[in-house]
Amino acid sequence: MNTSNTSNTSAASIRLNKFISDSGFCSRREADKLIDSQRVSINGVIPELGTKVLSGDEVRVDGNLINASAENKSDRVYLAYHKPKGITCTTEHHVKGNIIDAIGHPERIFPIGRLDKPSEGLIFLTSDGDIVNKILRAENAHDKEYIVTVDRPLTERFIHAMGAGVPILDTVTKPCTVTMQSKFVFRIVLTQGLNRQIRRMCEYLGYGVTKLKRSRIMSIRLAGLKVGQWRNLTPDEMHEINSAVEGSTKTALETEQKIDANVTDRNAPQTRTKPQGRMRGRRQGISNTAPPRPGRGRKPKA
């Protein structure tokens, strides 16, 4: 069902998914899902993707009023959290051990990206849905550093292979920096975030990960945060993050233009991403190991 302001191009209007994410309710991606599921209304009318919100419009999600955010984002929350092993990076409260309940913050927040349940380390959370959308864009290529412990003694051959790129999930990982820390521990810096990337890379080369900790995102380090602790990001840290994602503006506008072109025809065939098939790369001289499990596509999760 269309709302009267779907095609409105007034300068005072704002895209519905951005209005919801800016309010701190959820990320822009999650807002799109809510809109598509018809859980959102504007002035009592069910909108569609691409709808614009005008000044004075009443936006509700599941009947709950969504308030517009402050223009200077002074009401936004930005946290650094040392996620413990066993905590799941989801906002779904019915999931036992979810990250939101683990933190217990009074504001409505959500994680920026993910960190595997068996992994620990640094992750950001925020009530600013717009910055989540920008940080997660692959082209931003933010450094993420991990300290990894494996079940076999490391070799120079393994370190070289990890750094050069490993075939997983029907692709080859980007070259990265890998350094040996001790007999069983290495440090790796990634700019990708494929599903269980480090674990899959190690598995391909015949190693099992026994411990994985994210120690740094960009220049923001885990140091000083005990397991389970969180702190507010400093103004200097936020300045770095905002500077790093500044280039996302053009991409965001291009994405919105594509949406505008598509919402005029809800009956157009939908393009779906095919699930990734079984990895077909051959092992690089490593024997006596079980074959890797098949992947199920790419997700922004280390």
Question: Catalytic residue positions?
Answer: 116
Give the C-alpha separation, 184 to 20, whole Å: 46
Query: By C-alpha distance, which of 88, 86, 67, 69 is closest to 77?
Result: 69
Rg over alpha carbons for the chain, rounded to the nearest Å, is 21
- Report helix, strand or coil for 261: helix
Place of tokens 């066993």: 86
How remote is the C-alpha of 61 from its chain's centroid? 23
Query: By C-alpha distance, which of 26, 228, 25 is closest to 121?
Result: 228
Residues 292-298: contacts with CB under 8 Å, at least 24 apart: 292/168, 292/200, 292/203, 292/204, 293/203, 295/168, 295/169, 295/170, 295/195, 295/200, 296/195, 297/169, 297/195, 297/273, 298/169, 298/171, 298/194, 298/195
DSSP 270: P
